[in-house]
Structure 1
C-alpha cells in the first residue's frame, strides 16, 4: 500500500509541475500583434474596444436571485487586451497598449 501511495504522490507531483510550468509562460504581445495591426488602432480606447472579448461566469447578486430565482446565471464580458484568454481590467489594457506603443515607436 505504501508503494501505491508513493506512486500516486509522484504522478501528482509530475502533473502539478507540468501545470505550473505551463502557467508561467508569458505571452510576448509583440509576437501576437504586429506593427501593421497596431497601426490600425486610433487610440487606447479603440484598442480596448477591438480586443477579443472574454466572458466569465460570476456569482449572482441577491437581487438577481430574488428576481430570477436560484437557477439564475450571471456573466460578465470584457476585453482580453494581452491575448492570454483572461479578462483584463482597464489598467492592464492601458499597460499593454503603452508597451506596444513603446515597441513600435509610434
Structure 2
C-alpha cells in the first residue's frame, strides 16, 4: 500500500485493500461485482480465474491450464507491462472460449462417416 501511495496508484490484490479477495472469492470476482458486470460467459470465466487463483483447481477442469499459462507468462516476461499485455490475450482467449466455444471438441479419431 505504501508503494501505491508513492506512485499515486490503487493497491490491488493484497490484504486489507478494497480491490482484493473477499471470502472464497478472488479479486477478479470483486471487480466483476463492483463494476456491476453480468454475463454468463463472464461468470464462467470468473469460476476459472477463482479456481486458479485460490488453489481450488478441482472447481473447474480449465483452472489447471489457466494457472499453468499464467505462471508460464510470469516466467517469460521481466517487464510487468509486457506480461500484462500477454496476460490480456490469455484472458481474452478464455473469455471467447467461455462465450463461444464451450461445446466445441477436437476428438480424434473422428466419428466414422
- On whether the aligned pair clears a TM of 0.5, the verdict is no
TM-score normalised to structure 2 length: 0.21
Larger Rg: 1
TM-score normalised to structure 1 length: 0.22
More strand by share: 1
Bigger relative CO (Cα 8 Å, ≥ 6 apart): 1
